[in-house]
A and B are shown apart, each in its own frame.
Chain A
Amino acid sequence: MTDLTPVLSATWGLDRSWNFDTYAAHGGYEAATKALTMDKADIIQAVKDSGLRGRGGAGFPTGMKWGFLPEPDGGPRYLVVNADESEPGACKDVPTMMASPHTVIEGMIITAFAIGCDHAFIYVRGEVVHVYRRLMKAVAEARDNGWLGKDIKGTGFNLEITVHAGAGAYICGEETALLDSLEGRRGQPRLKPPFPAVAGLYARPTVVNNVESIASVPPIIAKGVDWFASMGTEKSKGMGFFSLSGHVKRPGQYEAPLGITARELIEMAGGMREGHELKFWTPGGSSTPIFTDEHLDTPLDYESVGAAGSMLGTRSLQIFDETTCVVRAVERWTHFYKHESCGKCTPCREGTYWLELIMRRLEAGQGTMADIQQLLDTCDSIAGRAFCALGDAATAPIISSVEYFREEYVRHVTEGGCPFDRAAAALFDYDSAPEEAHA
């Protein structure tokens, strides 16, 4: 059994864990103190050597991202923390910022210092007002304690942090859409290249990192590269959150070395709910192809999950038991992608519209056998042809569910309806007879 390794979550259970004093009393800001005495290049090298890869889903090496910034030209350089956590299944950054916002602030101070940035931003989704309160307070506390402002701790380093609330748009988690949104525009992705490292916020060199990536920087600096690299697998180093949700007994946040398996995690979560068995699960949120019980022993690292046909993504394990209709589940995800498509490119805008129509009639028992093939054909017209990853993501649950559960799609057609009782999947008892009100 792989041990859990609570690092970022270690202080979450403490009284007023979000306060500066609590954080500082448990080793907080020691890493920043150390970093300000270090050579900037050494900080970047340490993060490179640690093997830390982006925790927001794409898994790009964090230190390498920093290293892509051009030489300083005297103009501004920006750090933007992507706190727009909205991937269905992802629920790790929000509790991090709620319980321990200073982890993020400290990581930002170290990162900003390393890359030569004096104004950093946190772009937090707008639908979590209490998280926004905690972040604003943490910034104020950090300033009161001399960690933000001018000439920080007498080093000559200046830093301001602006906490910015979004306004409800999943696509703003895509880093260039986030930058457009932060510039006060519709959140639509930009053509790359140029990448943000060269021309990001206000067309200046910019690093965009996920909350958990940034929060992982202080422990790397404080405890060392070897400590971090001792966890995980050869190419997927360190610890990370595994967010378990759905039909397990104890859903929640499990911080573990990369490479742990779903079997181990589900066991830690008390197993499936009583009397039920696993049917399908997402390894990294709804944008990653679904897995079944045959993937329970796949190490949850970037390489192994990829080799098994999915992606590690945000390590968001949404777990469904045998009471769940996979067509219903995928229909709802498909609605989500249609709803969140920004409209910039045709394959995604039009494609997700048609996918939802077809999924909806299949789930309602009004589809045909040809619809199943039409779904796959439409996916083929989107995947790899959309402007950003949202289009690809929309096809992932469809293609994988047809692969593993084609007979269930067929049953919806041949039986003229959904063969599942929705009430059986719910966590509370109710009479499923009344027709569902669809607004």
Chain B
Amino acid sequence: MTYDESTAKQLSKDAAEIIGRYPVRRSALLPLLHLVQSVDGYVSPDGVQFCADQLELSSAEVSAVATFYTQYKRRPNGEYQVGVCTNTLCAVMGGDEIWRQLSERVGAGHDETTPDGKISLERIECNAACDYAPVMMINWEFFDNMTPETALQLVDDILAGKDLVPTRGADRVVSFKETSRVLAGFEDGRADEGVSAGAPSLAGIETAKQQGWKGQDK
């Protein structure tokens, strides 16, 4: 184990809290892997060993799980995980072209990270926002109704060190590591930021209102 003393102490404290949420220890493995990513920026060999020690598993058992899930990264990840949905609907609506231009500008392909460690690019699968197509996700926050221009602007903003503001999400995109900590189940106090819903989510209730349909209001 090569974590320094204070990191190891914090990790153990967090792990105990995570394990405490479940009736059976092993259920803590997925959040523990997110936790490891929040410290190392990927699922490091040290992180694998840490999870194994915490849950009394072998490192092979932990690796077998970590490699099954696409959100766990096997190499140091960029500060910003930039995903372009290229599943059918987003691809057809323009996602393929957004990907082409973005990949060219960033100089990286799928699952590749820029040498400066700023950006990891990914062709992502459907992220449950088809009514906002074409969609991008940056550190798993929603960027809706994208065009090549708005997509390239985001990359420019990352490189210029500016904050990114998701369409539906927190007031600004936090780093990949900070995002991973939230996914490990640690609140960051940003739940009240951002909108409740975008226009497409409200399309039905707006239509009902315009038509004077009383509907079945709760």
Give the B-binding residues of A (Cβ under 8 A): 3-19, 26-27, 76, 85-91, 93-95, 98-100, 119, 125-130, 132-134, 136-137, 140, 162-170, 181-187, 202, 219, 222-223, 227, 231, 239, 243-247, 250-256, 268-269, 286, 316, 318, 320, 324, 328-330, 332-333, 336, 339-340, 342, 422-423, 425-428, 430, 432, 434, 436-437, 439
Contact = CB atoms under 8 A, between A and B. Distances in A.
A426 B133 CA distance: 10
Interface string B193-218: 01011011111111110010101111
B160 interface: no
Interface in B12-40: 21-24, 26-31, 33-34
Interface string B166-198: 101110000000010011110110111010110
Nearest to A267: B207
24 contacts: A4-B215, A13-B206, A17-B196, A87-B126, A89-B89, A90-B130, A91-B131, A94-B129, A99-B197, A130-B142, A132-B183, A137-B187, A163-B185, A165-B184, A167-B34, A167-B69, A219-B218, A245-B131, A422-B97, A425-B93, A428-B147, A437-B103, A439-B112, A439-B121
B84 to A, nearest CB: 10
A286 B192 contact: no
B75 interface: no
Contacts of A219: 216, 218
B34 A126 contact: yes
A127 B196 CA distance: 18
Given A187-B68, A422-B96, A86 B128 contact: yes
B164 interface: no
B206 to A, nearest CB: 8
B30 A14 contact: no
Interface residues of B, number: 92
A18 B70 contact: no
Contacts of A202: 23-24
B131 A126 contact: no
B215 A10 contact: yes
A57 B142 CA distance: 24
B165 interface: no
B104 interface: yes
B213 A3 contact: yes
Given A6-B204, A10-B217, A99-B201, A129 B96 contact: no
A291 to B, nearest CB: 15
A285 to B, nearest CB: 9
A86 B131 CA distance: 14
A328 to B, nearest CB: 7
